[in-house]
Amino acid sequence: MKAFCGRSMPSTGASDPVEESEEYDYHQEIARSCYADMLHDHDRNKKYYEGIRAAVARVKARGERVVVLDIGTGTGLLSMMAVTAGADFCYAVEVFKPMAEAARCIVEKNGFSEKIKIINKHSTDVTVGPDGDMQMKANVVITELFDTELIGEGALPSYEHAHRNLLQEPCEAVPHRATIYAQLVESELLWSWAQLQPMEVGGGRLVPPPAMGRCAGAHSVCDIQLSQVSPHSMALLGPLCTMFSVDFSKPVSSAVQSHTSRFVARCGGRAQAVISWWDLDMDPSGSVVCSMAPSWTYPETQVAPWRDHWMQSVYFLPAESPVTEGEELSLTVRHDDYSLWYGLQGSSQQASHTDAPLPRPCCTCQAHLVWTRPRFGELNDSRRTESYVSALRSVLREDSVCLGVSDGSLLPVFAHMMGAKKVYALENSKMAKEVIEQVLEANSMEGGVDMLEVRAEQLSSGDLGGEQISVLMGEPYFSTSLLPWHSLFFWYCRTALAGLLRPDATILPRAATLNMVAVEFQDLWRIRAPCGTCEGFNVSPMDEMVQRSLDFRESREAEPHPLWEYPCRALTRAAEVMTFDFTQLIPQQPISSQGSLPFIRKGRCHGIALWMEYHLTADISVSAGLIGPVSEQGKCQWSRHRKQGVYFLRTPWESSGDGRAAATYSFTFEPAQGDIKMDFRGESL
């Protein structure tokens, strides 16, 4: 059976009906839900197993039959651990149908079908009784319902329902307890992701609107691999605070709650953000602990376990506030059933505000709804700004008529500040248009940029007052872009606007190049690596289901990843492999490129890293990937502002580093789809 579904094409801006099998979405979900990073997390698995064995032993010591409830079983691994540890029966609940089917296959393959029942439901829909999903209530509950924020996947309401309806009281829980920690910091790097900063533009100064400075920002958590943020880029203003704990063996409430930690400031500075993580105590004594702390908190960073399913959190305070050394401070965290937020009070504020509820952060300036956190960082990057300003300075004239084509971009504002005769900007989003207008108003430049809320193909000469465009500019940045080459949407806009350009019009950027390097990942390879056997259990049916789903898709694809969070080594040189000339119209025929890059360093190649570089002028370029040369050892430094593309190899290639083998590549840009088809092979030279 075939069905039509609408598929967005970020590079072209089009949304076309595509004929797909009725099983397309099913296979897409399986392909994207690979649990490899969790199954490869030996530290997590080992500590869960230790906690499960201890819980089963405690119940048996009381002379009771051990009945386990495993909520969110995934592959069924924890249920199999429970039965191996001596549990009499296990109810394994999994709401995601493909995973429930995978769990059934895995449980059967390992010979546990008689003692493990897979229930394909949400746990809040599970019933108990002679005709129910469970014959009796459980006396041991095992869960892995946690995300980076601990409670973001609905752990609290799931536990609350389970204690009321599915569990005996008292019961044993694995994990037994979770504890959230937080630390107050000042960090120019982190704060650059929260607020627009003043910037120097061609001898002038651009300031953010006052409303942005007063705005509490987006309320969603900023989850990152904090291990990759140097502690030297943060001033730790206070000690690591224990904010609150949840005992999962007792009834849990999902109601809104607040917790406060009081401490004395270690040093003076500007309180801007709170860094946070949590630990799991697998047993009541706290002797088996699974920690999410960043690697730089360990005495030896190399022994810290790597996880991508659980990272660390950054919470931005509603406003930065001065802190003096020795000052008494109160850090408050408030949470509902799915999220947390923080507030800070100094000693002078505590008396009058102690009982006031901490309001949930809410964006009132619209900027935090238009710009993502990496986008804030990009706009605040002074070196990047200087590159664009230098490029504009070289092309602007007194009679320049400029048109900006990017989402929520400040380039049109820059062009006006630098003396362009007339500046227009295309904005598809009304909200983005209003944010740029706020910036203009805050800098007394009302009307300096005509904001046009139309698509490029809809723009007419009348919209430009009969003027022809002499400078077409873009960063390019588009909110719909996922992969690096999706920003080629700028090229499609440039082509649509050809009739409105002067014959000698400047296109900025004038070109873009797709770049690649073959890499060995320190840890990221785990998310796509087959598991086969995990902690002594055969989980190959999961690998097989994922592989079938990948094969179901007509072509293998690259994935977007922020590589600054995932260290890797370059095994080949970095190279430009495809060029897109924006001074010309999009061609009718595909563009192809083939070649090879010799392996010059020894290692195991896990994949190909891909990124775009934008050539603003003949001598000014901006990279959305590698920033700076690769070190002699192959260490790479990646832009924090954009995600790069990663093409994972199904089987890693071994490199001896003697140049006798190479990564061969083949790229084809399809103008009709705006997509790039790619293929890579390891070959001997």
Q: Is residue 652 part of a domain?
A: yes
Question: So what's the pLDDT on residue 4?
Answer: 46
pLDDT tens sequence across 26-79: 555 555 555 788 899 999 999 999 999 999 999 999 999 999 999 999 999 999
Q: Please check the confidence at residue 271 and state whether its pLDDT lies above 80.
A: yes
Q: Please check the confidence at residue 1 and state whether its pLDDT lies above 60.
A: no
Q: Examine the domain organization and report whether 413 and 494 are in the same domain.
A: yes
Spell 243-253 as b/e; 16+ CB within 10 A means b. Answer: bbebebbeebe
Q: Please check the confidence at residue 474 and state whether its pLDDT lies above 90.
A: yes
Question: So what's the pLDDT on residue 174?
Answer: 98
Q: Examine the domain organization and report whether 243 and 392 are in the same domain.
A: no
Confidence label for 3 from pLDDT (cuts 50, 70 and 90): very low
Question: So what's the pLDDT on residue 157?
Answer: 97
Q: Is residue 558 part of a domain?
A: no
Q: Examine the domain organization and report whether 207 and 303 are in the same domain.
A: yes
pLDDT tens sequence across 103-117: 999 999 999 999 999
pLDDT tens sequence across 328-347: 999 999 999 999 999 999 86
User: Among 180-184, 584-588, 656-660, where is mean pLDDT lowest?
Assistant: 656-660
Interatomic CA distance for residues 220 and 3, integer angstroms = 36
Q: Are 48 and 81 in contact (CB under 8 A)?
A: yes
Q: Is residue 276 part of a domain?
A: yes
Q: Are 162 and 241 in contact (CB under 8 A)?
A: no
Q: Please check the confidence at residue 675 and state whether its pLDDT lies above 60.
A: yes
Q: What is the mean pLDDT of the chain?
A: 93
> Average of pLDDT values for 4-18?
63
Task: Identify the CA nearest to 145 among candidates 111, 98, 95.
Answer: 95
DSSP state of 484: G
Where does 159-219 show beta strands of DSSP type E?
A: 167-174, 177-186, 199-201, 204-206
**Domain CATH code at residue 504:** 3.40.50.150
pLDDT tens sequence across 539-570: 998 888 776 666 544 446 899 999 999 999 99
Question: So what's the pLDDT on residue 307?
Answer: 94
Angstrom CA distances, 333 to 9, 204, 241, 242, stand at 41, 41, 11, 11
Q: Examine the domain organization and report whether 135 and 194 are in the same domain.
A: no
pTM to 2 decimals? 0.94
* Residues involved in catalysis: 144, 153
Question: So what's the pLDDT on residue 2?
Answer: 47
Question: So what's the pLDDT on residue 35?
Answer: 73
Q: Examine the domain organization and report whether 487 and 356 are in the same domain.
A: no
Q: Please check the confidence at residue 533 and state whether its pLDDT lies above 60.
A: yes
Task: Identify the CA nearest to 93 among candidates 9, 13, 156, 158.
Answer: 158
C-alpha triplet 562, 181, 338: angle, nearest 5°: 70
What is the number of domains present in the chain?
5
Question: So what's the pLDDT on residue 552?
Answer: 47
Confidence label for 501 from pLDDT (cuts 50, 70 and 90): very high
Confidence label for 220 from pLDDT (cuts 50, 70 and 90): confident
Q: Is residue 448 part of a domain?
A: yes
Task: Identify the CA nearest to 84 among candidates 134, 114, 32, 49.
Answer: 49
Q: Examine the domain organization and report whether 217 and 359 are in the same domain.
A: yes
pLDDT tens sequence across 170-217: 999 999 999 999 999 999 999 999 999 999 998 899 999 999 999 999
**Domain CATH code at residue 582:** 2.70.160.11
> Average of pLDDT values for 120-145?
97
Q: Is residue 374 part of a domain?
A: no
Q: Is residue 399 part of a domain?
A: yes
Q: Examine the domain organization and report whether 63 and 148 are in the same domain.
A: yes
Q: Is residue 348 part of a domain?
A: yes
Residues 6+ apart with CB under 8 A from 187: 229, 233, 234, 235, 272, 273
Q: Is residue 19 part of a domain?
A: yes
Question: So what's the pLDDT on residue 683?
Answer: 87
User: Among 81-95, 145-159, 344-358, 639-653, where is mean pLDDT lowest?
Assistant: 344-358
Cβ burial, residue 287 (10 Å; 0-12/13-18/19+): exposed
Question: So what's the pLDDT on residue 349?
Answer: 55
Q: Show the domain range for 391.
A: 381-508
